[in-house]
Amino acid sequence: MKLFSKNLLEISSLIFLTNFLHNTWHREYPYAWLFLLLTISSVFIHSGVFNDIKPQLKIVDNFIIFSIFIYGYLLFLKINKNNNSKSFIPISTFLTVIYMYVVGYFQNKYSFDPDPNIAHISHAAIHLLGCLGHHIIIYDYSRINSHNMVRYQYQ
């Protein structure tokens, strides 16, 4: 189980490639490139190959995560400004990730559990939840943009 658990984080990091592809499909290139960079930094961090520069990689990884949060939040605001309806999924995935990370940190749970199997599975769940929340954001945003484009074409 330890070998699978270790590889689980490398494999779950690859899920962000789906965000890269989804954003590329909808021509949201800055968001796409951020997810490609996150995939690369996350795989490097979780692979253990680059242990000698892991602290620097974590700084870069945290900057990329923060950039994705800001970009996704700005799109989320645009969605809700135009749509006047709040999507439950991005909000719930964001709050769940924050809860798992912050509470986990202070209580040695989830990603910070002393049992590496629990820690790795929890961290993989964080990858999955973040991926899902951002997929919903780009889906909603692209739907609104395509609706606006059609409306402008016929005016």
Phi-psi region of 113 (alpha: psi -120 to 50; beta: other; left: phi over 0): beta
The confidence score (pLDDT) of residue 48 equals: 80
Lowest mean pLDDT among 11-15, 96-100, 127-131, 142-146: 142-146
Q: Give pLDDT, residue 127.
A: 97
pLDDT at residue 152, as a whole number? 47
pLDDT the model gives residue 154: 47
Q: What is the predicted pLDDT for the residue at 4?
A: 53
From the list 22, 47, 50, the residue with the least C-alpha distance to 34 is 22
Give the whole-angstrom CA distance, residue 127 versus residue 112. 15
CB of 72 closer than 8 Å to CB of 97: no
Prediction pTM value: 0.87
Confidence of residue 150 (pLDDT cuts 50, 70, 90): very low
Would you state the structure tokens that stand for residue 150, as one six-digit string?
């059609």
12 close to 47: Cβ distance less than 8 angstroms:
no
Give alpha helix (H) positions in the chain. Answer: 2-13, 16-25, 29-47, 54-83, 88-107, 116-153
Angle between helices 54-83 and 116-153 in degrees, nearest 10: 40
Looking at every residue in the chain, the average pLDDT score rounds to: 89
Q: What is the pLDDT of residues 100-133, one digit of tens each?
A: 999 999 999 999 999 999 999 999 999 999 999 9
Q: How much is the pLDDT for 3? A: 47
Contact 131, 18 (CB under 8 A): yes
What is the rounded distance in angstroms from the CA atom of residue 155 to the CA atom of residue 153?
6
pLDDT greater than 80 at residue 62: yes
Residue 71, Cα to own-chain centre: how many angstroms? 11
Q: Looking at the predicted structure, is the pLDDT value of residue 36 above 80?
A: yes
Q: How confident is the model at residue 151 (pLDDT cuts 50, 70, 90)?
A: very low
